[in-house]
Amino acid sequence: MLDAQITAAILGVALAGAIFFLVRRDHLHGPFAAWWLMVAAATLILGTFPSLVIWLGKLTGINYAPVLPIIIGLSLVLLRLLKLDIDRSRQERQMRRLTQKLAILEQELDRLRADIPSKRGSGLPSGPDGDRGTP
């Protein structure tokens, strides 16, 4: 049983180390890193202290305690997927609104360009009064 505890401790520490490495390299940002550090801590604690799993199993009424971390893990994965879907929906809504605003601005710009008479023929810039500068 001690070998399983050592393996779980190594996995928890390795996961935490990988998370810190990713944060340091700027591949993983704040809230996401905090989430994964909690996962690493839970792996370390529940693996190192298997009696805690048995106690939590009795507390929750689960007869076969080793299935408790699996249930908790799957529940957390489902919650994480739900949050990702919510974030993606929000980003798609923002993207759609930005696209609509851009289309409106482009249409307004085209309309303003059509209202201004063309000054390309003279080759000289025009002043604020509409008069041409000296050649």
Q: Which domain holds residue 8?
A: 2-87
Task: Please identify every stretch of the chain with a pLDDT value under 70, giving residue numbers as ranges.
Answer: 1-2, 118-135
pLDDT, position 95: 98
Domain total of the chain: 1
Residue 110 lies in a domain: no
pLDDT at 131: 54
pLDDT at 128: 55
For residue 56, is it within any domain? yes
pLDDT at 92: 97
Q: What is the pTM of this model?
A: 0.60
In a domain, 117, yes or no: no
DSSP secondary structure string for all residues of the chain:
-HHHHHHHHHHHHHHHHHHHHHHHTTSS-HHHHHHHHHHHHHHHHHHH-HHHHHHHHHHHT-SSTTHHHHHHHHHHHHHHHHHHHHHHHHHHHHHHHHHHHHHHHHHHHHHHHHHSPP-TTT-S-B-TTSPBPP-
Asked if residue 48 belongs to a domain, the reply is yes
Assigned domain for 92 exists: no
pLDDT of residue 127: 53
Residue 45 lies in a domain: yes
